[in-house]
Amino acid sequence: MIGGDPGEVREHARRVRAWAERVDAVAAEVLQSSSVAWVSDAADRFRGELEARQREVTVIAERYRTTADRLDELAAALEDRQQVLTSLLATAGRTVEELAAAVADGAGEVFDVAESFARDAAGAGRDVLRWAGL
């Protein structure tokens, strides 16, 4: 395929989305850990760190989703361009075939005119020979 296979690009997008889902699952586990019933300054710091890590992981998952969306857009654009190119190539093929047919028709007409001219010239030559008594 010209430019690559849109199906393969979409498969990459699917895999990247699966990574995002796995990262979301990790973020959910981290968030669940922050609900531990533990009361102290260390527990508060621990929960703060868990929440910070959960936000970081959520950002990573969102980047994966954005990447997957862009891969899907690339696949769609690639498919569109391939359809346009296929159409242009088909049109060019028809144009070449039509041009060949026109040349063949034109050549046939040229041969017909040349043959007619040759007959006329031969007839005129015979007339001249007869007139000259030859």
Residue pLDDT, tens place only, 50-93: 888 888 888 999 999 999 999 999 999 999 888 888 888 888 87
For 101, other C-beta atoms within 10 Å of its C-beta total 10
Closest listed residue to residue 23, CA positions, set 52, 49, 53: 53
This prediction has a pTM of 0.58
Contact 78, 10 (CB under 8 A): no
Contact yes or no for 31/55 (Cβ under 8 A):
no
Could you tell me which residue, 18 or 89, shows the higher pLDDT?
18
